[in-house]
């Protein structure tokens, strides 16, 4: 027989009055009760380590992905036996020729002119893949940290780059403090507009420059005096020299001492021949030291001569130098031999900074002080209140370059835009530690097609032509 339950057990409990509910809601909430509830739900976490707390908001030590190495780190850095600090002497294809400046560990043999036999040795290096991902180029003239060095095979891998004091883009060379613009008086003859492009490119770097005119023996005195007077009107003091007759080289050698100089100019003007002539003037009298140096730099292009070639039948130069290379001078300093090119890119020149690269405009503005142009953004195109007149020789070249830069800036604004993201992004890991990672390129399907960009530019140009017709 099933048990019977009393009706009193099933009786519902009466609800409390409304006033009691309000009193409970207004009652203060105690932190102790909340801690008790939380302790029941989740076990209490142990206190974090003090070292972990110190690591909060600290970027993980990844110098290759964050910022270049400081130049002072070279002196205080403790190098491993498989590491070295060197100077990039040449870049060709995917390989870099690095000259060792200092090496880690103890050398096997120190009997070499009282120093480390590894210093001055040439290493054939590749670039670390991480540097390529974050688009950090390794240029000729860079001081680099080389790791995984195999001293027997003379190979290594460039792990990081030290900070640069300066950099030029055309040609790409780092840590330069002087420019030598070299042209020839004949074979090939100097073209005023090409010479202007090279001078504007050199002026845009902000580095001191020297203008030299080679092959002066091929022209007469009247031509030399005419070009000298013409270049003085441009605001330059040219240095006329001749590699074949060894004239003017002593004055040029004094200018280049203890400096890292980049030689730029068109093909065929004699850049490599000039470098070979300047480097053959060795001032070392001890033959034993010279023999040891040649033995130490065996199979190295560090002390070798640069290739030279003949001028073509049309009178224009032929390109003999294929890549940029940094070469030491006997009196101290370095010379960078670069491939010849006839059209500098002018990538660092803007329409506002173009006027600063012409000495004629700078002299006119300084002579008219305290008077200035009426507009701060004056481009010296005949605006009302403009001080610069059109009575100087290179004014047509200035207008031509200004139109070229305007078209390039408009195209860059359409393709690249005004916002540029950093090459490094940060991710927050465990316990708030930030880690730097390279920012990869966006997917190709997210970009506007090149066909659409070109078509939009052509449409705008056609609209401008229609407006001019009206």
Q: If you count them, how many residues does the chain have?
A: 470
Query: Mean pLDDT across the chain, nearest whole number?
Result: 75
Phi, psi (deg, nearest 5) at residue 101: -100, -40
Bond preceding residue 188 cis, omega within 30 of 0: yes
The arithmetic mean of pLDDT across residues 433-452, rounded, is: 65
Report the range of poorest mean pLDDT among 68-82, 216-230, 261-275. Answer: 68-82
Fold for domain 84-105+115-163? OB fold (Dihydrolipoamide Acetyltransferase, E2P) (2.40.50)
**Model pLDDT for residues 331-385, shown as the tens digit of each residue:** 778 888 877 666 788 888 999 999 999 999 999 999 988 888 988 889 999 888 9
Angle at 468 between CA 463 and CA 469, to 5 degrees: 95
Token pair belonging to 397: 């070249």
> What is the CA 20 to chain-centroid distance, rounded?
77
Residue 395, pLDDT score: 95
pLDDT category of residue 428 using cuts at 50, 70 and 90: confident
**Model pLDDT for residues 320-329, shown as the tens digit of each residue:** 555 788 888 8
Residue 117, pLDDT score: 82
Say if strands 155-161 and 122-127 run parallel, antiparallel, or are unpaired. Answer: parallel
pTM of the model: 0.67
Q: Give the contacts of 289 (CB within 8 A, at least 6 positions apart).
A: 113
DSSP 8-state symbol, 355:
G
Bond preceding residue 370 cis, omega within 30 of 0: yes
d(CA 200, CA 359): 10
**Which one has a higher pLDDT value, 95 or 338?**
95
pLDDT category of residue 7 using cuts at 50, 70 and 90: very low
Token pair belonging to 110: 């120190």
**pLDDT of residue 251 exceeding 60:** yes
Phi, psi (deg, nearest 5) at residue 454: -65, -40
Residue 298, pLDDT score: 42
Q: What percent of the chain has pLDDT over 70?
A: 65
**pLDDT of residue 445 exceeding 50:** no
Phi, psi (deg, nearest 5) at residue 132: -70, -35
**Residue 297's CB: how many other CB atoms inside 10 A?**
16
Task: Give the H or E element holding residue 157.
Answer: strand 155-161
One CATH from 2.60.40.1120, 2.30.30.90, 3.40.50.300, 3.30.420.40 for 173-303+320-337: 3.40.50.300
Task: Measure the CA dihedral 170/175/181/187, to 10°.
Answer: -70
**pLDDT of residue 287 exceeding 60:** no
**pLDDT of residue 14 exceeding 70:** no
Ordered alpha helix ranges (H), 121-270: 129-133, 192-204, 221-234, 249-256
**pLDDT of residue 37 exceeding 60:** no
DSSP per-residue string spanning 217-238? GGS-HHHHHHHHHHHHHHT---
d(CA 108, CA 216): 52
- Whether the Cβ atoms of residue 461 and residue 406 lie closer than 8 Å to each other: no
* 404 class by beta-carbon count within 10 Å (0-12 exposed, 13-18 middle, 19+ buried): middle
The arithmetic mean of pLDDT across residues 202-221, rounded, is: 93
**Which one has a higher pLDDT value, 373 or 287?**
373
SS3 (DSSP) at 427: strand
**Model pLDDT for residues 177-198, shown as the tens digit of each residue:** 999 999 999 988 999 999 999 9
- Whether the Cβ atoms of residue 125 and residue 161 lie closer than 8 Å to each other: no
Name which of 51, 69, 53 is nearest 61 in CA terms: 69
**pLDDT of residue 432 exceeding 90:** no
**pLDDT of residue 101 exceeding 60:** yes
**Which one has a higher pLDDT value, 255 or 11?**
255
Residue 430, pLDDT score: 73
* 327 class by beta-carbon count within 10 Å (0-12 exposed, 13-18 middle, 19+ buried): buried
pLDDT category of residue 416 using cuts at 50, 70 and 90: low
d(CA 66, CA 153): 31
Token pair belonging to 230: 């013409």
**pLDDT of residue 49 exceeding 70:** no
Residue 81, pLDDT score: 86
Where in the chain are all domains bearing CATH 3.40.50.300? 173-303+320-337
Report the range of poorest mean pLDDT among 12-16, 174-178, 406-410. Answer: 12-16
d(CA 172, CA 168): 6
SS3 (DSSP) at 318: coil
End-to-end CA distance of the chain: 112
Token pair belonging to 334: 């370095």
Report the range of poorest mean pLDDT among 132-141, 203-212, 221-230, 453-462. Answer: 453-462
Where in the chain are all domains bearing CATH 2.40.50.140? 84-105+115-163
**pLDDT of residue 266 exceeding 80:** yes
d(CA 212, CA 271): 11
d(CA 181, CA 344): 12
């Amino acid at each position: 027989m099933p048990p019977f339950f009393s009706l009193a057990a099933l009786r519902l409990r009466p609800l409390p009055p409304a006033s009691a509910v309000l009193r409970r809601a207004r009652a203060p909430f105690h932190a102790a009760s909340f801690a008790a509830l939380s302790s029941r739900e989740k076990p209490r976490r142990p206190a974090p380590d003090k070292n972990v707390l110190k690591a909060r908001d600290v970027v993980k030590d990844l110098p290759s992905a964050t910022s270049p190495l400081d130049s002072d780190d070279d002196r205080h850095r403790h190098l491993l036996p498989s590491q070295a600090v060197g100077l990039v002497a040449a870049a060709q294809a995917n390989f870099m020729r690095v000259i060792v400046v200092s090496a880690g560990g103890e050398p096997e043999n120190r009997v070499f002119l009282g120093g480390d036999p590894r210093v001055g040795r040439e290493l054939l290096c590749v670039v670390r893949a991480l540097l390529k991902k974050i688009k950090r180029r390794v240029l000729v003239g860079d001081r680099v940290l080389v790791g995984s060095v195999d001293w027997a095979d003379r190979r290594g891998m460039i792990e990081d780059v030290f900070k640069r004091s300066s950099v030029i883009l055309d040609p790409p060379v780092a840590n330069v403090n002087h420019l030598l613009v070299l042209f020839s008086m004949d074979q090939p003859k100097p073209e005023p507009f090409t010479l202007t492009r090279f001078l504007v490119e050199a002026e845009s770097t902000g580095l001191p420059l020297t203008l030299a005119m080679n092959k002066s023996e091929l022209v007469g005195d009247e031509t030399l005096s005419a070009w000298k007077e013409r270049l003085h009107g441009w605001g330059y003091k040219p240095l006329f020299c001749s590699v074949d007759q060894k004239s003017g080289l002593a004055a040029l050698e004094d200018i280049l001492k203890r400096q890292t100089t980049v030689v730029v100019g068109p093909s065929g003007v004699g850049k490599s021949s000039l470098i070979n002539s300047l480097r053959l003037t060795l001032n070392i009298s001890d033959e034993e030291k010279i023999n040891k140096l040649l033995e130490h730099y065996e199979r190295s292009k560090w002390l070798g001569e640069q290739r030279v070639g003949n001028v073509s039948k049309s009178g224009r130069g032929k390109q003999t130098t294929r890549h940029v290379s940094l070469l030491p001078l006997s009196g101290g300093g370095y010379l960078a031999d670069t491939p010849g090119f006839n059209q500098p890119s002018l990538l660092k020149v803007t329409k506002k900074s173009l006027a600063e690269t012409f000495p004629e405009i700078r002299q006119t503005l300084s002579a008219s002080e305290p008077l200035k142009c009426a507009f701060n953004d004056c481009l010296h195109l005949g605006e009302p209140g403009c001080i610069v007149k059109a009575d100087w020789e290179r004014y047509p070249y200035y207008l031509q370059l200004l139109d070229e830069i305007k078209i390039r800036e408009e195209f860059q604004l359409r393709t690249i835009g005004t916002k540029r993201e950093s090459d490094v992004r940060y991710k927050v890991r465990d316990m708030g530690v930030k880690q730097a990672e390279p920012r990869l390129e966006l997917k190709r399907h997210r970009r506007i097609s090149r066909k659409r960009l070109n078509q939009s530019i052509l449409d705008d140009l056609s609209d401008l032509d229609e407006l001019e017709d009206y």
